Chain A
Amino acid sequence: MIRIEHISMDYPIGDSVCHALQDVSITIPDGQFISIVGRSGSGKSTLLQIASGLAVPTQGKVYYQDTCISDFSKPLLAEHRSKTIGFIFHSFYLEPEYDVYTNIEIPLMIAGVPKAERAAKINAQLERFDIKEKANVKAKKLSGGERQRVCIARALINEPSVIFADEPCGNLDGENAENVMNILGQLTKEGKTVVLVTHDMEAAVRTQRIVRLQNGRLISDEML
Chain B
Amino acid sequence: MKCSDLMRLAIKETALQKFKLLLGLLLWISLITVALCIYRFSFSFRDCLYQYLRKYNSSITAVDYVTEEPLEDLKKLEQIGIDSEDIFLRVQNNYHLKFLTQENVEITLPLNNVEVTAITSSYDTTMLEGRTLTAADDTKDGNAVVIGKPLAEAYGISVGDAITASIHGQKLRTLTVCGISNEDNTIIWIPARPYLSIHENTGVYCPATVSLTVHNPAAYYDLKEYLDSKEIMIYSEFEKGLGIIEIVSEAFWLISLLCMFLAMFSMMNYCSIFIAERNSYIVLLKTLGMKEMSVSFLFYSVIIGLFFIAYIISILLQKIVYLHFQAVFTSILKVTVESVDHFAAFALLCFLINVIFVSIAFFGKIGKLIHGEDMAAVRLQDN
Quick one: which of A75-92 are within 8 Å of B by CB? 75, 78-83, 85, 87, 89-91
CB-CB under 8 A from A74, the residues of chain B are 291-292
- In angstroms, Cα B16 to Cα A95, docked, is 11
Interface contact A55-B377, CB-CB below 8 Å: yes
Does A93 sit within 8 A of B, measured CB to CB? yes
Interface contact A109-B9, CB-CB below 8 Å: yes
Interface contact A45-B287, CB-CB below 8 Å: no
CB-CB under 8 A from B240, the residues of chain A are none
Interface contact B2-A81, CB-CB below 8 Å: no
Interface contact B289-A95, CB-CB below 8 Å: no
Contacts A78-B291, A87-B287, A90-B382 hold; do A110 and B1 have CB atoms under 8 A apart?
Answer: yes
Interface contact B381-A91, CB-CB below 8 Å: yes
Q: Which of A48, A54, A93, A110 contacts B280 (CB 8 A)?
A: A93
Interface contact B378-A49, CB-CB below 8 Å: yes
Q: Count the B residues whose beta carbon is within 8 Å of the partner chain — how many? A: 29
Does A219 sit within 8 A of B, measured CB to CB? no
Interface contact B378-A111, CB-CB below 8 Å: no
For the complex formed, measure the closest distance between the CB of B285 and the CB atoms of chain A, giving whole angstroms.
7
Does A112 sit within 8 A of B, measured CB to CB? yes
- In angstroms, Cα B286 to Cα A74, docked, is 10
Compute the total of residue contacts between A and B using a CB distance below 8 Å. 84
Contacts A78-B291, A93-B280, A110-B290 hold; do A45 and B381 have CB atoms under 8 A apart?
Answer: yes
CB-CB under 8 A from B233, the residues of chain A are none
Closest to A93 in B: B284
Q: Count the A residues whose beta carbon is within 8 Å of the partner chain — how many? A: 38
Does A11 sit within 8 A of B, measured CB to CB? yes
Q: Report which residue of A82, A109, A112, A154 has the largest number of chain B beta carbons within 10 angstroms of its beta carbon.
A: A109
Q: Contact flags (1/0) for A51-74 with B, using CB distance below 8 Å? A: 000111000000000000000001
Interface contact B378-A79, CB-CB below 8 Å: no
CB-CB under 8 A from A95, the residues of chain B are 281, 284
Contacts A93-B284, A98-B12 hold; do A107 and B289 have CB atoms under 8 A apart?
Answer: yes
- In angstroms, Cα B276 to Cα A84, docked, is 29
Contacts A55-B376, A109-B9, A112-B1 hold; do A89 and B291 have CB atoms under 8 A apart?
Answer: no
- In angstroms, Cα B378 to Cα A54, docked, is 7
Does A102 sit within 8 A of B, measured CB to CB? yes
Can you report 20 residue pairs joining A to B where beta carbons are below 8 Å apart? A46-B377, A55-B378, A75-B293, A78-B286, A79-B291, A80-B289, A89-B380, A90-B382, A91-B381, A91-B382, A95-B281, A97-B16, A106-B9, A107-B289, A109-B5, A110-B290, A111-B1, A112-B2, A154-B288, A170-B381
Given known contacts A75-B291, A109-B2, what 6 new A-B pairs fall within 8 Å (CB)? A45-B379, A54-B287, A87-B287, A87-B380, A89-B381, A111-B1
| Chain B residues close to A by CB (< 8 Å) | 1-2, 5, 8-9, 12, 16, 280-281, 283-294, 376-383
